Structure 1
Amino acid sequence: MKNGKRLDVRRLAVIGVLGAISVVLGMTPLGFIPVGPTRATIMHIPVIIGAIMEGPVVGGLVGLIFGIFSIYQAITAPTPVSFVFLNPIVSVLPRILIGITSYYAYKALSRIGNKRTTWLLYGIWAAIGIYLIRGLYSGIVNYTSVWPLLMNGGLLILTALMAYLTSRTLKDRALDLIIPTIIGTLTNTVGVLSMIYIFYAERFVQAIGQDIDTARKVIVGIGITNGIPESIIAIIIVTSVVTALKKRKK
């Protein structure tokens, strides 16, 4: 079934492979990439790819694996804020929802069509380019390591390449991938931070050395600084991977 409501052997295999990729990303530096002034996680990207390619059930189950691994990490390699991820409402629920929100956003956009929104696509790519240029400038002015400069420069080149390729290969359908990817990424970032705010606001802020009286401001700030680079990385990877997979299916 194309809508992903039934599991078969192929979908179970896809769940296993994408879930394993999420785990590997979380266990290695590959899962966290310096971009702009912050570091972006890409552990949620297999969830989005699974949802777009195979439906909400596959996406949700890959998200479940991602969430369970977050609990495992919190137990085996604790940090000062790991206690928040011991709560499944923080670590698991938002990750399952990634697969659901990104899939239905993808389906909705596929039905609506985007022939009149090419300008929005170019605007998104331009905004990504501006953010990465800002990261390059910041890295040069406040130089501490060559790695962020190389990463931001590489991502800037890759962004330009992806903008060109998506405009040529996907044309007016590129937003079908970009918007769901942004929604899936924000589901992860906003979902996790919202649950942290509801259940652990003051304790979390205190654990990262901030004033507990500014808990809301601190958590919102984390969401903004993490959400932007995570969306950038996700857009680049998801559009390239899904485009390649769709070509192989034809």
Structure 2
Amino acid sequence: MSILSILIAIIILQDFIPMLGNIPIGPLSLTTLHVTVIITAIVLGPVDGAIVGGVWGVITWIRAFTMPSSAIAPLVFVNPVVSVVPRIMIGLIAGWVFIGLTKVMKKPLVPMILSSVAGALTNTILVLGLIYLFYDTPAVAHSYGVNVHNLFKAFVAIFATNGIAEMVLAAVIAPAVATPLRRLHRPK
């Protein structure tokens, strides 16, 4: 319980301290918060990963109304399906992938790396996919600085830049932090 509380506090700090959890790059926001969710899923399991992801999602949803982290936040993150569900899924997917892979691999490093990649991909694919599904509109296209007919191409470019960067970040940092934490705490 205390480790979960600390990780929730970290996700809150990351979200509210500028340049710690969201690094703005033009209309985009490169996130590092998913790494904390993935670490939680690896160390404490998928349910606790989903809880920390859910806290991040609720904060994202509230901030979309009160103090958006990017130009598109007030347009798309006011929908909890876009702001909350993908964040919960990061913890579930990363945790399940880790549990599944540790059953077939003796050493945990490769499962940690692969679950980190899976968690980061879950976030990127769900957020971009849901934005495209719900918000294929001129207002969102304008926020991204593209014609509405080029919105899908813009999302592919975002995936190729932000998505891959966030995936590499997670694959490097999450195992490095989760390894010593797992020595202190074994998931149920």
TM above 0.5, yes or no, is yes
The aligned residue for residue 66 of structure 1 is 56
1:81 equivalent in alignment to 2:16:
no
Quickly say closer, same or farther: Cα 1:32–1:81, change in 2 above 3 A. closer
Q: Distance in 2 between matches of 1:33 and 1:213?
A: 27
> Gaps (5+ residues) in structure 1?
1-9, 115-171
Classify the secondary structure of the residue corresponding to 1:44.
helix
Aligned-partner SS, 1:40: strand
Deviates more, 1:177-186 or 1:238-247: 238-247
Separation in structure 2 between the aligned mates of residue 200 and residue 228 of structure 1, nearest angstrom: 23
Matching of residue 17 in structure 1 with residue 9 in structure 2: no
Larger radius of gyration, structure 1 or 2? 1
**What displacement does 1:21 show?**
1.1
Residue identity over aligned pairs, in percent, reads 35
- How far has the Cα of 1:110 moved from its partner? 0.6
Matched letter for residue 194 of structure 1:
G
Aligned to 1:182: 117
How much does 1:39 deviate?
6.6
Tell me the CA shift for residue 14 of structure 1: 3.1
Equivalent residue number for residue 99 of structure 2 = 107
Map Cα deviations across residues 85-127 of structure 1 (whole Å, 9 max, x no partner): 000000000000011100111011111227xxxxxxxxxxxxx
Q: State the partner residue of 1:31.
A: 21
- Please report the TM-score for the alignment, with normalisation by the length of structure 2: 0.87
Shift of 1:33: 5.2
Q: How many residues are aligned here?
A: 180
Contact kept? 1:31, 1:42, Cα under 8 Å? yes
Deviation readout 1:38-84 (Å, 9 max, x if unpaired): 97311111211111111121111111100001012211213431220
Instruction: Quickly say closer, same or farther: Cα 1:39–1:70, change in 2 above 3 A.
Output: closer
Q: CA RMSD in A?
A: 2.1
Runs of 5+ consecutive residues of structure 2 not aligned to the other structure: none
